[in-house]
Structure 1
Amino acid sequence: MAVCAGKTVWSFMFLLAGAVGQTVIYPFTSTCAVRGSTVTLPCSFTPLKSFNEGGREVPLKIVRVRWCQNHELCQGTTPSVYDSKSTKKDSNYQYLGDMKTNCTLQIRDVQERDEGTFRFRMEVNYTAGHFTNRTGVTVRVNDGTKMRIISSSEDKKFRGNETVTLLCTSLCTFHQLEVTWFKDGHALSETGPSLHLSPLTAEDSGNYTCALKASNKTLSELHSLQVEVEEKKGEQKGQDKNLPLVVGVVFGVLLAVITLILFLFIIKRRLAAAAEDQRAVGGETEQKYPDNIYSSIQEENLQQETSHAVEDDSYATIQFNHSQQKHRHVEKAEDAVIYSSLAS
């Protein structure tokens, strides 16, 4: 009996010390989430470091952490949405904490089944050191709520180089959102709940909207943003200083173009002159052929005349010989007559 009574008193003292030394803190005890969104439940805890046993301090160590839904103590065989000792993990529930002080839980793709109260429990290497904060965090699921854009400035018109931040939110409290930002109906690359624009330029002017990445039904109303960029005097002076350089470049380009045109014109003229020379050489060649023909004809006529002359000479020679023979006969006849006369 004394032993049992001693254990009972010791357990009571340990629980009292635990109640005083152990803490689980939820920054808020209720939140609202739009269906299809991601909600984060911040949480921090302080475990009991040790306990006094027989005059000596025995250190304690965290061996298990759990999150349960709609259970006050979250102990024993109670179903858990997260259990550090379980090998089965639900991808919709991600533990962002550790085994020391952080116990934050994130719920992704929130659905109606996630509506309820979530509680955190820590367990140490001594049964009496387990602790659950029964307050918990209550999550309400809202379906079809449209998002809205809140600007860091009430102004609708901005000047260049200024800064503005647009926040995509709704009536529910969100701690982490995956949203899609649109500008003039075109999706932007940013996916966080806040859109930071700095420094503003004329290209940032337009109509902005946002919606939860998992549901386009939550598309917000238009938020207009107008940026007016004034031209600075210093920039104008700089442009005036650059004017001679621009003029010089333009003049150089024009000079190069004119030089190229003249060069092409000269080449074209030379090619045309060469073509005319070729045609002239071809004409002279054609004219040479009649001269050759004429020379050939003259040579033939000369040969014919020469042959005629030779024939005439031959004929004259024959005639001359014939005359000589005839003359000789006459002489012989005359000599015969003279001889006859003498004889008589």
Structure 2
Amino acid sequence: MALWDKKVLCGFMFLLTGAVSQHVIYPGPVCGVKGSTVTLLCTFTPVKTVTEDGREVLVEINRVVWCQNHEICQTTTPSVYDNKLLYNHINNPRYRYLGDTKGNCSLQISDLKEEDDATLRFRMEDEKKLSFYTGQPGVKVTVVDATQMKIRSSRDGEFKRGEAVTLTCTTECTFHQLEVTWFRDGHALPYTGPSLHLSPLKAEDSGNYTCGLKNNVGKLSEPFSLNVEAGEEEQSTQAGVPVTLIVGVVVGVLLALCTLILVLCIIRRKRAADKNQSAVREEAGPKPDVSSNIQQGGANGTEDDVSYDPIQFKARGQARPAKDDVSYAPIQFKARSQARPVEEADDAVIYSSVVGRG
């Protein structure tokens, strides 16, 4: 073999070895809905060393690039992301690099637009460009309109109370991330994400479900009808009102009636007690006025109404006459000028006897 043929064979083997030792792994074709966010999961493997001037030199990747619809993404090729921003490139703010310079080349695209529908490729380089590589064939990103969204169920058939079901908001193609708002009968639900898990199912979970992008709820999917069979407890309703609600209302009414009856009994007893006290006062009558009786008796001179002076009884040594109604009023007795004729005669005899003995 000629010397020139040997050099060509060695160069070809070197390129083949380099191509085999470094590579990029892309995800499959990615489909995204307008306005949503997709993530391109990507990994790369660079060469460890290269031969320079007959000696091996360690290689360290310091530049990573993503470009659209270009085979090698080099020099002045427009890129959507470049960590070195060479050639006055400006990174697209909707493209966010999630990787590094060691082996992760993942890229996230937010707020998808029609211009994002393209084939993207990843390129890596070292500082001296001793090693550089653009991964093939790249990843195809397809952007679709939101009207193509629809809901799929994890199971078919009838849904019974207590079971579980997962509803997935999807399109004709596959997507990685989708900020979704869920609706039931036109009312927003407090759930986000491509999947809605319902467990355990209840009768109130029945309805027409739709899904739409969180930032574009004007375009919703076709409705998905979910009918959940009611259990025994939920079947026992009257005019669409649950039994528990009816029982609660009945108990409340009964408590209110019992309270009212108790209050009426208390009021009735109080009134009866007040009536009895009034009757007792009427039977007892008014209290007699002792002072008026004494004065009236003194004026009329009757024997029953007499006022005695206790001092005079002690002086005479006579016993106090037994009278039915006797009132002692020494002050009133002295104030009256009327004399008792019988007792004065007796007193005169006693006093005269005492004088005669002296």
* Pairwise TM-score range, normalised by the shorter structure: 0.5 to 0.7
Q: Could you say what secondary structure the match of 1:18 adopts?
A: helix
TM-superposition CA deviations, 1:292-336 (whole Å, max 9, x none)? 5444433444589x746689xxxxxxxxxxxxxxxxxxxxxxxxx
Equivalent residue, structure 2, for 1:59: 58
Q: TM-score, normalised by structure 1?
A: 0.65
**Cα separation, 2, equivalents of 1:79 and 1:296:** 135
Mark the CA change 1:64 to 1:271 in structure 2 (over 3 Å): closer, same or farther: farther
Correspondence 1:275-294 to 2 at 5 A: 277=277, 287-288=286-287, 292-294=291-293
Correspondence 1:33-182 to 2 at 5 A: 33-53=32-52, 57-85=56-84, 90-143=92-145, 145-155=147-157, 157-182=158-183
Q: TM-score, normalised by structure 2?
A: 0.62
Mark the CA change 1:295 to 1:118 in structure 2 (over 3 Å): closer, same or farther: farther
Equivalent residue, structure 2, for 1:23: 23
Equivalent residue, structure 1, for 2:209: 208
| Preserved contact between residue 32 and residue 140 of structure 1 (Cα < 8 Å) | yes
TM-superposition CA deviations, 1:12-35 (whole Å, max 9, x none)? 76544322222122232x444332
Equivalent residue, structure 2, for 1:197: 198
| Preserved contact between residue 94 and residue 111 of structure 2 (Cα < 8 Å) | yes
TM-superposition CA deviations, 1:127-177 (whole Å, max 9, x none)? 13111125333334334523111112232x122343322111122432211
Unpaired segments ≥5 residues, structure 1: 1-6, 233-249, 312-344
Mean Cα deviation higher: 275-284 or 53-62: 275-284
| Preserved contact between residue 182 and residue 209 of structure 1 (Cα < 8 Å) | yes
Unpaired segments ≥5 residues, structure 2: 1-6, 234-250, 302-331, 342-358
Mark the CA change 1:70 to 1:296 in structure 2 (over 3 Å): closer, same or farther: farther
TM-superposition CA deviations, 1:182-216 (whole Å, max 9, x none)? 12222122211112223333343222111111212
| Preserved contact between residue 96 and residue 105 of structure 1 (Cα < 8 Å) | yes
Q: CA RMSD in A?
A: 4.4
Mark the CA change 1:310 to 1:193 in structure 2 (over 3 Å): closer, same or farther: closer
Equivalent residue, structure 2, for 1:217: 218
TM-superposition CA deviations, 1:78-103 (whole Å, max 9, x none)? 44322334597654222233333332
Mark the CA change 1:94 to 1:282 in structure 2 (over 3 Å): closer, same or farther: farther
| 1:229 to partner: Cα distance | 5.4
| 1:230 to partner: Cα distance | 5.0
Q: Could you say what secondary structure the match of 2:67 adopts?
A: strand
Equivalent residue, structure 1, for 2:296: 297
Q: Could you say what secondary structure the match of 2:176 adopts?
A: coil
| Preserved contact between residue 183 and residue 208 of structure 1 (Cα < 8 Å) | yes
* Partner AA of 2:79 in structure 1: S
Looking at both structures, which has the greater relative contact order when contacts are Cα pairs under 8 Å and sequence separation is at least 6? 1
| Preserved contact between residue 146 and residue 220 of structure 2 (Cα < 8 Å) | no
| 1:272 to partner: Cα distance | 5.6
Q: Could you say what secondary structure the match of 2:122 adopts?
A: strand
| Preserved contact between residue 34 and residue 172 of structure 1 (Cα < 8 Å) | no
**Cα separation, 2, equivalents of 1:299 and 1:89:** 132
**Cα separation, 2, equivalents of 1:10 and 1:282:** 140
Count how many residue pairs are aligned between Structure 1 and Structure 2: 281
Mean Cα deviation higher: 213-222 or 14-23: 14-23
Q: Could you say what secondary structure the match of 1:113 adopts?
A: helix
**Cα separation, 1, equivalents of 2:221 and 2:228:** 21
Larger Rg, first or second structure (1 or 2):
1
Mean Cα deviation higher: 72-81 or 49-58: 49-58
**Cα separation, 2, equivalents of 1:274 and 1:136:** 102
Mean Cα deviation higher: 46-55 or 107-116: 46-55
